[in-house]
Structure 1
Amino acid sequence: ITAVTSFDSLHAAHPRNLLAVSSPIWLANVPTPTNIVRNYPKDEDIKVEELTDHAPLADIAKYPPAMKQPPTNHPEVQSVMRQLDWTKVPSIVPKKLTNGMFDLTKYDYRNDSDCWWSASVCRQPKLDYLPEDVYQCPKPGDWGLTFDDGPLRVWSTNSSLNQWQEPRLYNFLVDHGKQKSTLFFIGANVVAFPAAAQRAIKDGHTVCAHTWSHVQMTALTNEEIVAQFYWTLKAIKQVLGITTRCWRPPFGDVDDRVRAIAWLMGMRTFLWDRDTTDWSLAGYGHGSILTNKVDVIIKDWIMAHNNGTDDEHGHIVLQHELNNLTVSMAEKWLPAIQKEFNVVTPHACMNIAQPYWEDTFTYPTVANKPETTTTTTENSPADVSHSLSTSKFALKNFALEIFFSVGVAIALFK
């Protein structure tokens, strides 16, 4: 594992005195599987194929229950707590949730001292030793493709629903130009469906963390935040052999306290500036909007790109591998999006070539597209653009999203 001191700065216009961080030493001894991908693949090694293994991680019982807050008194969590520099974490009181929604009545969102996204859509930390969030692509015409909440496993006896689980989306991406994306994985889903997670990295996708149980992180204590991050990072390391350097907060809910803890644990915050709202599609008995609303949103983006009114920068787009409707929406629109935009990962458009602490992985970027070597393995023990992201919209939908966005792995754990 290489000890890189800091991430690339995001915008030269906002120079920051970044706090140096290094690879998490508390993950160094996590066992990893044999015959896993250890570098970025060549395109000819990426193929459409089905998964034959749907079993959970063999020692899944050693992990916390799925979609529940991991306990903070676990020895491994306590060990991490002792190794973090808490002088770099601001003393911000956890936010208050009522019925799944935040109470903003007493928060000064205009001053926004906490850089709290849910209140102000703030993405530039007040603390200059933290990097600015990654939330858009600098170059006009770039479309940063992302999918949250995977890897998708449908716990059903209904074959018409099961067909939508992975590798459905991953095969579709292979079929359409071997398209790469950034995948924000829920930790509980990784240990529940490790073969799908391994397939994702084998296909050249970038894997980032999306917490253990998909909760509003600013409502948690410091200890609870560490537990969410730790078990997710451990799951990704044990299943994929990588230590990811990126994460996305569920619902976008992040402030400088959460950012600081993530940074100390080796991760930079990734958000978005365009929300497809696919997560609120009416399906599986949940959601509230019809598919034609998402259609209109994407059509408007394409129109703005073509008529020249969207020419300041590229975008990072929020999508999900959540259920049949989100996957079918991705399948419906990706060909048209590829025709109009340069579809890349957020890391590629930001020229971040090494998304993991392991230096064996070097991904191509828009500025540097190196020839890839043969894939090897190693044995080892807002609005339509972003006003939909305003706090008012987010608050209305917090309760709805949390109700349906975390159910795919619950059935496996008791």
Structure 2
Amino acid sequence: MKVLWCSLAAIAIHASVGLADNENRNILAVTSPAWLANVPTPTQGAVVTQYPKDDDIKIGSLKEGTYPIDLNKYPKPLKLPPTDHPEVQEALKHIDWSKVPQIEPRKIKNYIVDTSGYDSKSDPDCWWTASTCKKPKLSYIPEDIYACPQPGQWGLNYDDGPLRIWSHDEEKKKWQEPRFYNYMVEHGKQKATLFYIGSNVITYPEAAQRALSDGHTICAHTWSHKQMTTLTNEEIVAEMYWTHKAIKEVLGITPKCWRPPYGDVDDRVRSIVWQMGMSTIIWDQDSNDWNLYGTPARGKVAPETIDKHFQDWISKRVNKEDNLHGHITLQHENSNSTVSMAERWLPKVQEAFDVMPIHKCLNDPYPYWEQSWAYPTVDNPSPPLNAQDPNSPQKPGGSSGSPSTQSGQQQSVGSTTVSTTSGAEPYLRTFALYAAMVTLTLGLFA
């Protein structure tokens, strides 16, 4: 029997910001992706299998080619994958298409999604590109995650990794990973949420494995970085299938989180990806680093413009003008320009904010379907190293953000054993109470 897995991360963020309506949403049940059951996982010792000890996180180099992946088993990197592959066809069978709204794929005009002709005011499709809508019109899909709940929190995250520079120029290659991963180790062993492109994972698996061993949280960011609302239903499934397969084969994990490239998502895309086991994470602040000189987008923005964004955010926080909620700020690890910008501002952001991965600020210790992985959260900064034996029954109860409930059950799918839940009412009540307190406090000072 399928039981409800309601994204507690989404509940936490929206309720504590005072925007949530998930309590009144009949969230569609989803389970561990059965279509990944036959994907090979890393050999023993090739990659960490639980959250690392702090003492094991160290600066180090990488040697390309030490963990070879058979690229012939995958579509061409960064190209739209075909939909007629037998593995994709199998994944398509696991989608309840009656739950996917019949929305026509969007059109591209001058390299961007064409929003002309769409009624962004009524916004029937909750199309982020047209309206920045984050609350689906479909009641069975959870709201998008877009900010950290507590003022002063900074959900550190980077898109498009892991960065590999395809050049024989050693001066250029010095910017590729593990450069920035080493930088984060040097600066307090800082952890971040990394939204990985599947193509980059299979072409630079050693860097992806290094990130996981450093304690970073890995989420999906599609296979070819296309605008997702412009794709057919089958193409959306293919994008996410190959991304998940790459991550599982290289890292042995199955993320429950994804970010749409360019933020381009609507209820059709959300419904498909939610049924594939992933919550949607957007952002509430855009650094615009993607538009810098020297980025893959061939940007035209000078570094000084991006500097001003960061300085303004820091100044508002220091001057106590930023007290509503925390932030998830869009940044990238896709070029020397974005990495340089990240290095310049991380120490300053650390001084002004409480910097952490997104799931930590959401009090969600389980970003993957594999329950042997448990990450630190604000409420529980030191989870047990062997958090959950996937072969033993899960204990009832749990802290805020945990998928455990009194009626928690296990469901084994292939080589992945997962836990599902029968509801999130206790957490909803907790966060609803907090939201009411915040509202009352703000009212007193209005």
Alignment TM-score > 0.5, same fold: yes
Following superposition, the deviation at residue 372 of structure 1 comes to 4.5
Q: Which amino acid aligns with 2:5?
A: T
Name the amino acid aligned to 2:236.
I
Contact 1:3/1:357 (8 A) holds in 2: no
Q: Secondary structure at the match of 1:114?
A: coil
Partner of 1:174: 185
Q: Tell me the distance in 1 between the aligned counterparts of 2:381 and 2:182.
A: 23
Is 1:251–2:236 an aligned residue pair? no
Query: What's 2:48 paired with?
Result: 37
- Supply the AA of the counterpart residue of 2:320: G
Give the TM-score of the pair, scaled to structure 2. Answer: 0.82
Output one character per residue of 1:12-55: Cα deviation in whole Å (capped at 9) or x when no partner: 33122211100001101210112121111111110101112346
Post-superposition shift, 1:218?
Answer: 0.1
Deviation by residue 1:332-355 (Cα, 9 ceiling, x = unmatched): 111111011000111111111100
Residue type of the alignment partner of 1:330: A
| Greater RCO (CA < 8 Å, at least 6 residues apart) | 1
- Residue matched to 1:402: none
**What amino acid is aligned across from residue 365 of structure 2 in structure 1?**
A
Stretches of 4+ aligned residues off by more than 6 angstroms: none
Number of the residue aligned with 2:6: 6
Structure 2 residue 83 is the aligned partner of structure 1 residue 72? yes
List alignment gaps of at least 5 residues for structure 1.
382-414
The answer on whether the counterparts of 1:55 and 1:193 sit within 8 Å (CA) in structure 2 is no
1:115 corresponds, among 115, 126, 129, to 126
Query: What is the aligned counterpart of 1:309 among 321, 329, 341?
Result: 321
Contact 2:285-2:329 within 8 A present in 1 as well: yes
What's 1:260 paired with? Answer: 271
Contact 1:279 1:319 in 2 (8 A): yes
Change (3 A) 1:201 1:86: same
Pairing 1:323-342 to 2, within 5 Å after superposition: 323-342=335-354
Choose the corresponding residue for 1:191, options 193, 202, 217.
Answer: 202
Provide closer, same or farther for how the CA distance between residues 112 and 4 of structure 1 changes in structure 2, counting only shifts above 3 A. Answer: closer
Q: Tell whether the 8 Å contact from 1:4 to 1:357 is kept in structure 2 after alignment.
A: no
8 Å contact from structure 1 (residues 55, 192) kept in 2: no
Deviation at 1:96, TM superposition (A): 1.2
Residue 172 of structure 2 is matched in structure 1 by 161
AA paired with 1:5? W
**For structure 2, which runs of at least 5 residues remain unmatched after alignment?**
391-414, 417-446
Contact 2:248 2:254 (C-alpha < 8 Å) held by counterparts: yes
Count of residues paired in the alignment: 378
Please give the root-mean-square deviation of Cα atoms over the aligned residues, in Å: 2.0
Q: C-alpha distance in 2, partners of 1:103/1:59?
A: 37
Alignment of 1:61-100 (within 5 A): 61-100=72-111
TM-score (norm: length of structure 1)? 0.88
Give aligned-pair identity as a percent. Answer: 56
Give the Å deviation of 1:105. Answer: 2.1
53-62 or 356-365: bigger deviation:
53-62
CA distance in 2: counterparts of 1:54 and 1:187, whole angstroms: 17
Q: For residues 103 and 27 of structure 1, what CA distance do their matches in structure 2 show?
A: 34
C-alpha offsets along residues 85-108 of structure 1, whole Å, 9 cap, x if unaligned?
111111111111123222222100
**Which protein shows a greater Rg?**
2
